[in-house]
Amino acid sequence: MQNFIQQVMNGLVLGSVYALIALGLTMIYGVLGLINWAHGEFYMVGAFVGYILAVRMGLPYFVALVGAMLIMAVFGIVVERVVFLPLRGRPNMNVIIGTLGLSVFLLDGANLTMGPDPVRFPSIYTDQFIRVLGISFTVQRLLVVIVTLVLIAVLRLFIRNHKLGKAMRACSQDLQAASLMGIEINHVAMITAAIAASLAAAAGTLIGPIFLVNPQMSIAAVGKAFAVTILGGLGNVEGAVVAGFTLGLAESLTVAYISSYLKEIVAFAILITTLVFKPEGIFGKHSVEKV
Amino acid sequence: MKNNRLIKILVLIVILVAAALYPIVVQRGYYQHLAVMGCIYTLLASSLNLIVGYTGQLSLGHAAFYGVGAYTSALLTLRLGWPVWAGMLGAMVMAGVFGVLLGTPTLRLKGSYLVIATLGFGEIVRLVLLNWMSLTRGPMGLTGITRLAPWAVTKAHYFWVYFPIAVIVVVLLNQLVNSRTGRALKAIREDQVAAEVMGINLAFYKVLAFTVGAVIAGLAGSLYVHYVTFVSPDSFPVAESIQILVMVIVGGMGTIAGPIIGAFGIVFLLETMRALAEYRMVIYGITLFVVIVLMPDGFMGAVRRVSSILLQRGVRHAPAGD
Amino acid sequence: MIGTKTRALVALLLVVSVLVSGLLVAGCSKAEKEPIKIGVIGPFTGPNAKPGGRMKEGIELAVEEINAKGGINGRKIVAIFEDDASQPAQSVAAAEKLTTRDEVLLVIGAYNSACVLAHMQVTEREKTPQINPIAVATAITESGNKYMFRNCATNPMQVSQLADYVLKNFNFQKFAMLFENTDYGRGIAEVFGASVRQAGKQVVAEEAYNIGDTDFYSQLTKIKNLGPDALLIGGNLTEGSQIARQARELGLNVQLMGLGGLSSPEFDQLCDGANEGLICTSYFEVGTDDPLVKKFVEAYEKKFGKPPEMFAAAAYEAVYIAEEAIKKAGEHKNLAEWRQAVRDALAKIKDLPGVQGPTTFDEKGQADKKVYIVQWKNHEKVILYPTGK
């Protein structure tokens, strides 16, 4: 039982990160209709920005977290203008190659400027332990789960109630109709990219102190994010959250009760099974033939 | 019209003669190696082009067929002592089976969903190769794989075998896409619903495209292992699938020449960019983006547009795929 | 419409000019043959760029020192570095380039066993001698390749030394192993597990992870519940440091053990104290009295501003082994004869002093190297074996 609770806790931490990364990916798809193959790099760049603010500049951890999210929001807007805009409405193939170009550029750019060496990103919460009922974790891990849940709640309120949030929903249903209704597509596109990038930054800055920060972290993240996005339904925000936690728990429990060799396969098995049997995702209302 | 055809045949003969002489003129093994890899990538890019460019089915799992072919051929010759040509046939059959395995369940999927499904398929194949220790020796890979033939000692020998194979496959693909079957595939690419209404069996032709593409990629895998004589799962990551797709798109998909230009162009380009050292991939990334924005139809599309400008004719748009 | 046409024209010209300039660069190859060329293959980008960088530094330092002395037989040496990004296919291309385009006299490299296994057929076919300072897979020297020499201990050599030491000096009954799912990691687990079982002790857990993994809570939680006395980490420093830290976070208080990479200062820095008490093998120790080591450490610190670690030392030593062989081989006009002479000289090397101890190659090209067994205590390494040195 104790083992089970510990593994569930481990799964929740992993799931939080998957959910945050997948949220941005799914929102960009929902609103802009393009798959951002550089999304793993958004997460990596966000982690480095958080690292620079917190460790190199010595800002308090929460200031660095908010700072990284704001800086990455600006970064997201720049990427939307420079990269996504020229690709908007282009055939799928061109979008893939274009954003892959961005991905290669950011990954190797980070290798050049920050160096390939992993760096430690300590926060004051990494050395505080919580030990209850024989299970053990650091305060930072608890923080990951809590901050993730708060961010998700705020995002939900924004999408439901704010004017721009409603505009985003309208765009994700039908971009052309939304534009005819007088919604300024360019604004919505920029806001979406900004939110997606800042969520990725939050994921990076939250997880950085638990693991290490290096340019390669983007590669492992992106495959998982795709699996989560598909399981939740492409473009489905609630779905991404549920699917993120599902994958986190599935991985953790697979290692615990089956075999650690299978950990990496879980994500892709979920991905393929979903696509074959229910491509619209567990909550899917979206048409499979979007685009 | 007749003149045009004559020029085409002449150009083809010049290219073939130049290619046959290449290993004699260019003595350095390194450039011969790049030419051999160019032939292998031509097979990969041309076969992916059948799936992506002609049938409009986006796929990021092509390296899986390549890997299946490579491992099948390696294992058949290594463990069962089959001759190399039999290993090649085995590789093609096995890769074809995987083509059916990927093509059938993903029939319903389109666009981004299909891309992600094929990506996942590629990763699963790689992870199985990595973890099925008793068969593949996992991450250690297989060493000491039989060479193509006892007389195939230098890279020039390989080139003289692989280049004609690439030419034959490309010619056969050209026949295929200009046949009744090819027209059915193109109809599916342009409009699935219309194609179905016209009585084209969507499921059959889609799976057929995947299978034929997979068979050729399997052949490429077999050619690869009998050349390098070593194989490990590291050689077939998603990045490899992406590389092949880049060749198809940058060269110009939906054309016969495009993937060939893409394959040789990118093999040589990436190698000459070695001079840029650590800046290589950063510049490659920017180049990819700029090229795709400026030349959405790839190299062949741009050639067509420029030649139409020069000939003062209207712009004929190249097929853009999905 | 004119806009798109012009854009297409510009783009086409751009691509054509890039290709043409590439071919031109490729076309005009080298003219003079002055310095002796040594090819180096390593992962200078990608997941192993970090140790790859250390390897490069060790080689740069050795080349600089040798050239400062006037080179070899009056000729300067130059190292040509080629990146393989830890990819076997790229490694093959790099070996092809070095042996047939740059026409290097000998090759040093690489880092990953899979890469060496992939490209060694190229160096063998080109009859180019190769010194492998880092990749530890046994198959590399067991393959019968006459041109391959290795100046570091293989996996079984160091793992069995560690197992012998631990089994002799501690009374542990239950062992757990957490290793990377590669040739390297699986090899470690195999040899260590066999030693443990042979001594009549128990292996309670064998868990794997993939390179690039960051979270080991699941595996460690499982291990903790099986109650081992000691945990062997069969992997490299990035993942190893995370395992050590997360084991501490989970309250898994057992003896930690590791190999090679876990003796580096970077590992200590990434662990943030979680490596306290960890026992591991080490190819190279800064703190010994060996004058060669002292000289190397001093020069390295002066040039790079940090103490050297094992990969730098191994690569540095490899250049000196090459120097000795090239010196013995003498001058040859014909490259093929020269390479053959260097190979034969390498095979005859006996008790050549080096920073990792003396080098003598056996008939398979494997050097008989001892390893240290060290323990981390308060961010410093204490040498447990050999004692009294």
Contact residues on chain B for A236, CB-CB shorter than 8 A: none
Report d(CA B78, CA B76) in Å as an integer.
6
Helix (H, G, I), strand (E, B) or coil at B90: helix
The token duo for A186 is 């360019």
The subunits that touch chain B, with at least 3 C-beta pairs less than 8 Å apart, are A, C
Mutate to test the interface with A, among C214, C220, C271 (most CBs of A within 10 A): C214
> Any CB–CB contact under 8 A between A260 and chain C?
yes
Q: Which residue of A has its CA nearest to C252?
A: A136
**Could B228 and C19 be called an inter-chain contact, meaning their C-beta atoms sit closer than 8 Å?**
no
Q: Are C104 and C38 in contact (CB under 8 A)?
A: yes
Q: Which residue, among C7, C179, C215, would best test binding to A if mutated, counting the most A CBs under 10 Å from its CB?
A: C215
pLDDT given for residue A77 in this prediction: 94
Nearest residue of A to residue B133 by CA position? A261
**For residue C7, what pLDDT is reported?**
62
What distance in Å separates the CA atoms of residue B170 and residue B172, rounded to the nearest whole number?
5
Query: What is the DSSP secondary-structure string of A82-133?
Result: IIIHHHTTS-HHHHHHHHHHHHHHHHHHHHHHH-SS-EE---TTTT-EEEET
Between positions 56 and 85 of C, the ones with CB within 8 A of B are: 82-83
Q: Is residue A245 part of a domain?
A: no
Buried b (16+ CB within 10 A) or exposed e, C328-360: ebeeeeebeebbbbbbebbbebeebebbbbebe
Q: Chain A residues with CB inside 8 Å of C209's CB?
A: 260, 263
**In-domain check, residue A110:** yes
Cis amide linkage into residue C110, ω under 30° from 0: yes
Retrieve residue C101's tokens: 């385009």
Is A132 inside any structural domain? Answer: yes
Mean pLDDT of chain A: 85
Residue B8: inside a domain, yes or no? yes
Instruction: Report how far residue A176's alpha carbon sits from residue B109's, in angstroms, rounded to the nearest whole number.
Output: 24
Is C217–A111 a contact, with Cβ atoms under 8 angstroms apart? no
Q: In a 3-state reduction of DSSP, which class is residue C368?
A: coil
What pLDDT score was predicted for residue A290? 39
Dihedral of the alpha carbons of C1, C6, C9, C14, in degrees to the nearest 10: -140
Mean predicted lDDT score pLDDT of chain C: 86
Phi, psi of B31 (to 5 degrees): -70, -30
A123 to chain B, closest Cα gap in Å? 31
CA atoms within 13 A of residue A16's CA, in its CB half-sphere: 24
Alpha carbons B318 and A288: distance in angstroms, whole number: 27
C16 touches chain B (CB under 8 A): no
Evaluate whether residue A261 is within a structural domain. no
Q: What is the pLDDT of residue B315?
A: 45
Q: How far apart are CA B167 and CA B173, in angstroms?
A: 10
Q: Specify whether the CB–CB gap between A218 and A41 falls below 8 A.
A: yes
**Could you count the other beta carbons within 10 Å of the beta carbon of residue B209?**
28
Q: How confident is the model at residue C2 (pLDDT cuts 50, 70, 90)?
A: very low
In order, the DSSP letters of B230-295 are -B-GGGS-HHHHHHHHHHHHHH-TTSSHHHHHHHHHHHHHHHHGGGGGGGHHHHHHHHHHHHHHH-
Task: Flag whether A204 is in a domain.
Answer: yes
Q: What is the pLDDT of residue A193?
A: 92
Of A83, A96, A288, the CB nearest to B109: A288
Chain C residue whose CA is closest to A14: C215
Greatest alpha-carbon span in chain B = 64
pLDDT, tens only, C266-320 = 888 888 889 999 999 988 888 787 888 999 999 999 999 988 888 899 999 999 9
Distance, CA of C293 to CA of C357 (rounded, Å): 9
Please determine, for residue C256, whether its predicted confidence score (pLDDT) is greater than 60: yes
Query: A77-124: per-residue pLDDT in tens?
Result: 999 999 998 888 788 778 888 888 899 899 888 988 887 778 888 888
Looking at the domain assignment, is residue A270 inside a domain? no
CB contact under 8 A, A251 and C218: yes
DSSP C181: S
Q: Does A37 reside within a domain?
A: yes
Q: Is the Cβ pair C45, A116 closer than 8 Å?
A: yes
Q: Kindly report whether the peptide bond that precedes residue A116 is cis, defined as omega within 30 degrees of 0.
A: no
Report the gap between the CA of A234 and the closest CA in chain C (Å). Answer: 26
Whether the pLDDT of residue C30 is over 60: the answer is no
What is the spatial distance between Cα C98 and Cα C103, in angstroms, rounded to a whole number?
6
- pLDDT of res. C140: 87
Q: Assess whether pLDDT exceeds 70 at residue A189.
A: yes
Question: Chain A contact for C217, CB < 8 A?
Answer: yes
- Whether C17 shows a pLDDT value over 60: the answer reads no
Chain-chain contact of C249 with A138 (C-beta, under 8 angstroms): yes
Quick check: B141 and C88 CB within 8 A? yes
The answer to the question of residue B316 being in a domain is no
pLDDT tens per residue, range B250-262: 888 888 889 999 9
pLDDT tens for each residue of A232-266: 888 888 889 999 999 999 988 888 888 877 777 88
pLDDT of residue B273: 76
Of B141, B228, B294, which is closest to C11 when you measure between CB atoms?
B294
Which chain B positions have a beta carbon within 8 Å of A87's beta carbon?
A: 292-293
The H or E element that residue C336 is part of is helix C335-347
The CATH code of the domain that includes B229 is 1.10.3470
Average pLDDT over residues A21-32: 88
The nearest CA of chain C is from the CA of B299 a distance in Å of 7
Residues of B in contact with A92 (CB under 8 A): 58, 111-112, 115, 321-322
Confidence of residue C13 (pLDDT cuts 50, 70, 90): low
Given a cut of 70, the residues of chain B with pLDDT beneath it are 1-2, 277-278, 312-322
Scored b (16 or more CB within 10 A) or e, C105-134 reads: bbbbbbbbbbbbbbbbbbbbbbebbbbbbb
User: How many interchain CB pairs under 8 A, A with B?
Assistant: 136
Q: Please name the member of A111, A276, A291 whose beta carbon is closest to the beta carbon of B105.
A: A276
* Closest of C319, C311, C351 to residue C135, by C-alpha: C311
Selected for mutation to probe chain C from B25, B27, B28 (highest C CB count within 10 Å) is: B28
CB–CB contact B121 A97 (8 Å): no
User: With an 8 Å Cβ cutoff, are C213 and A220 in contact?
Assistant: yes
Reported as a single tens digit per residue, the pLDDT across A122-175 is 888 877 878 777 777 788 888 899 999 999 999 888 888 888 888 888 887 777
Contact assessment for residue A262 and residue A268, using Cβ atoms and an 8 Å cutoff: no
Chain C residues in contact with B277 (beta carbon < 8 A) = 44, 83
Q: Is residue A229's pLDDT more than 50?
A: yes
For A104, which of B106, B288, B321 is closest by C-beta distance?
A: B288
Report yes or no: C226 at the B interface, CB cutoff 8 Å.
Answer: no
Residue reference for tokens 């000019």: C17
Q: What DSSP character marks residue A56?
A: I
Query: Is there a domain that residue A280 lies in?
Result: no
User: How many domains does chain A contain in total?
Assistant: 1
pLDDT single digits (tens) C166-223:
999 999 999 999 998 877 788 899 999 999 999 999 999 999 888 778 888 888 988 9
Asked if B48 contacts B62 with a C-beta cutoff of 8 angstroms, the reply is yes
Residue of A nearest to C181 (CA): A261
User: Residue C20's pLDDT is what?
Assistant: 55
Domain ranges, residue A125: 12-220
Are B108 and A98 a contacting pair at CB < 8 A? no
**Which chain B residue lies closest to C11 (C-alpha atoms)?**
B294
Domains recognised in chain C with CATH numbers: 36-153+290-369 (3.40.50.2300), 156-282 (3.40.50.2300)
Q: Enter the tokens of residue C150.
A: 């290795």
Q: Is the Cβ of C75 closer than 8 Å to some Cβ of chain A?
A: no
Q: How many domains does chain B have?
A: 1
> B289 and A92 in contact by Cβ < 8 A?
no
Residue B278 to residue C212: CA distance in whole angstroms:
21
A142 at C interface, C-beta within 8 A: no
Q: Which of C221, C269, C272 sits opposite A3 (nearest CB)?
A: C221
pLDDT band at A288 (very low <50, low <70, confident <90, very high): very low
CA–CA separation, C62 vs A51, rounded Å? Answer: 35
B30, C97: Cβ pair inside 8 Å?
yes
Give chain B positions within 8 Å (CB) of A254.
none
Interface test with C, best of A4, A108, A211, A262 (most C CBs within 10 A): A211
At residue C11, the pLDDT reads 59
Going by C-beta distance under 8 Å and a sequence separation of 6 or more, which residues neighbour residue A47?
A121, A201, A203, A204, A205, A207, A208, A213, A217
CB B248 within 8 A of CB B48: yes
Contact C12 B144 (CB under 8 A): no
Q: What is the DSSP secondary structure assignment for residue B138, as one 8-state letter?
A: G
B246/A112 touch (CB, cutoff 8 Å), yes or no = no
Q: List the domain range (segments joined by +) for residue B211.
A: 2-310
Interface test with A, best of C217, C233, C236 (most A CBs within 10 A): C217
Among the partner residues A29, A91, A272, nearest to B321 by beta-carbon distance: A91
